[in-house]
């Protein structure tokens, strides 16, 4: 057995030691390329040994700290197979709103802007509502008519009362009394008809957001003639982000056209295509993991909420939908995503983090600590991969430890030393 020692000198790693073994030419060439590509960021080790599979690498505590080494236990866990699919981030259709005016009008004030984050009830747009203006005109006209008709009804009522007294005194004929009675009934019916028409107009006005208090204010000359009485405010129905704006001040708008699109991105959908052969492995309610290129070190989690019953005739895939929490807004709409769906394999296995496994030539290797400063390169046979974990079929036992973070640096030092020793 030989030992490769690592010391820190002038902010560079120095490896010294004596080792036996033979290095394959292909491994040396591969590592030479690897180390040259990383020379801008990885300290360049100086080595003087030829390690073999039985040798130990000695790293001082200082060298381990500079390499940011981390060590983890070799564990036995329930094994999962991971189904991987490509998806795209899409809005939750239950958290999306297309904002349109209720009636034709002219945009007076544009408050909401593309990209703004708005709260529920926040004004987006004020517009001069042409239909509301007409309704307000009808409302005031009907009120005036009702006042006139009510005055006529009150007068007819007084005539009827007088005719009733005269009839009792036999001062008029029954026919005269019946005439006054019919006039009064007609006047009352006219008032009721106008009041019913006014109620219908009031109901339409309420649809545009005016309250009973607003209607009362219309009865005064100060408010009733004010030009802003017909202005309508479009408000955000819920907290969201404005993802589309199609309106400018002075522009004519109408109910057939969207002026805003709002999306609540605190929760998003991820839509992915699943091949026909894998559909039997999936079900609604299963967990899923999500990764996007923008945040390679972050894993988002969600649940499958829908699997389409219809396959695409060309791709032979079924649309799958995952709901993913997005409270910080990192997931942007239309982002490409890698969807990972863990599938339990009903067995336990020895697993290690993927970062612990390094490839030397064609052989997978892990580095096993022998004590506080010595590490042994250990060939391993790998099996299934599950997220950030990989099965080790042979080469390790539960209870042992392996280098996880920093294993690449240990590998680089080992191979660079072999290359230097072979020259």
Instruction: Quickly state the pLDDT bin for 106 (edges 50, 70, 90).
Output: very high
The CATH architecture annotation of domain 80-90+265-345 reads Beta Barrel (2.40)
Instruction: Quickly state the pLDDT bin for 422 (edges 50, 70, 90).
Output: low
- Token pair of 305 as six digits: 């909420």
The residue among 30 and 365 whose pLDDT is bigger is 365
Spatial CA neighbour of 204 closest among 103, 124, 355, 66: 103
Q: How far is CA 120 from CA 109, 115, 246, 328, in A?
A: 19, 16, 20, 18
- Decide if 273 contacts 318 (C-beta within 8 A): yes
Lowest mean pLDDT, pick from 11-15, 154-158, 230-234, 364-368: 11-15
Mean pLDDT across the stretch 336-360? 88
- Number of Cβ atoms within 10 Å of the Cβ of 218: 18
- For position 31, what pLDDT does the model report? 40
SS3 242: strand
Question: What is 94-128+232-263's CATH topology?
Answer: OB fold (Dihydrolipoamide Acetyltransferase, E2P) (2.40.50)
- Whether residue 254 has pLDDT greater than 50: yes
Q: What is the chain's mean pLDDT, rounded?
A: 83
Residue listed under structure tokens 């389409």: 308
Distance CA 58, CA 374 (A): 4
- For position 193, what pLDDT does the model report? 95
Where are the domains positioned within the chain? 3-69+406-422, 80-90+265-345, 94-128+232-263, 129-230
- For position 417, what pLDDT does the model report? 64
Mean pLDDT across the stretch 365-376? 88
The residue among 421 and 271 whose pLDDT is bigger is 271
Lowest mean pLDDT, pick from 297-301, 364-368, 385-389: 385-389
- Token pair of 216 as six digits: 């009362």
Sign for the CA dihedral angle at 5, 56, 31, 27 comes to: positive
pTM (2 d.p.)? 0.60
- For position 12, what pLDDT does the model report? 35
Question: pLDDT per residue over 186-242, tens digit each?
Answer: 999 999 999 999 999 999 888 887 888 877 777 665 544 556 678 888 999 999 999
């Amino acid at each position: 057995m030989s030992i490769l020692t690592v010391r820190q000198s002038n902010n560079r790693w120095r490896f010294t030691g004596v080792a036996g073994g033979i290095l394959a030419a292909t491994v040396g060439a591969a590592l030479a390329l690897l180390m040259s590509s990383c020379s801008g960021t990885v300290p360049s080790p100086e080595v003087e040994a030829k390690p073999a599979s039985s040798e130990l690498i000695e790293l001082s505590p200082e060298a381990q700290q500079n390499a940011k080494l981390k060590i983890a236990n070799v564990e036995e866990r329930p094994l999962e197979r991971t189904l991987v699919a490509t998806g795209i981030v899409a809005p939750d259709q239950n958290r999306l709103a297309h904002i349109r005016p209720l009636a034709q009008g002219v945009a007076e004030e544009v408050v909401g802007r593309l990209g703004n984050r708005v709260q529920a009830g926040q004004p987006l747009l004020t517009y001069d509502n042409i239909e509301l203006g007409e309704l307000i005109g009808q409302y005031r006209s009907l009120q005036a008519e009702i006042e006139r008709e009510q005055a006529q009804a009150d007068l007819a009522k007084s005539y009827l009362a007088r005719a009733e007294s005269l009839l009792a005194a036999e001062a008029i004929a029954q026919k005269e009394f019946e005439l006054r009675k019919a006039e009064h009934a007609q006047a009352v019916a006219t008032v009721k008809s106008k009041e019913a028409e006014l109620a219908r107009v009031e109901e339409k006005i309420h649809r545009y957001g005016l309250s009973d208090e607003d209607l009362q204010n219309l009865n005064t000359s100060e408010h009733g003639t004010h030009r802003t009485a017909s202005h309508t405010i479009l408000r955000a129905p819920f907290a969201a982000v404005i993802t589309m704006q199609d309106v400018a001040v002075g522009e004519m708008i109408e109910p057939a056209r969207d002026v805003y699109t709002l999306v609540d991105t605190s929760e998003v959908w991820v839509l992915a295509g699943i091949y026909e052969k894998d559909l039997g492995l999936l079900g609604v309610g299963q967990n899923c993991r999500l990764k996007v290129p923008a945040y390679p070190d972050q894993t988002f989690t969600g649940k499958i909420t829908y699997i389409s019953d219809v396959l695409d005739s060309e791709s032979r895939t079924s649309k799958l939908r995952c709901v993913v929490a997005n409270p910080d807004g990192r997931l942007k709409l239309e982002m490409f995503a890698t969807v990972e769906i863990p599938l339990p394999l009903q067995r336990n296995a020895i697993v290690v983090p993927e970062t612990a496994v390094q490839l030397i030539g064609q052989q997978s290797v892990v580095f096993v600590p022998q004590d506080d400063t010595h590490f042994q390169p250990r060939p391993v046979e790998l099996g299934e991969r599950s997220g950030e974990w990989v099965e080790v079929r042979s080469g390790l036992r539960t209870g042992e430890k392996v280098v996880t973070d920093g294993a690449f640096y240990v590998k680089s030092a080992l191979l660079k030393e072999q290359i230097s020793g072979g020259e």
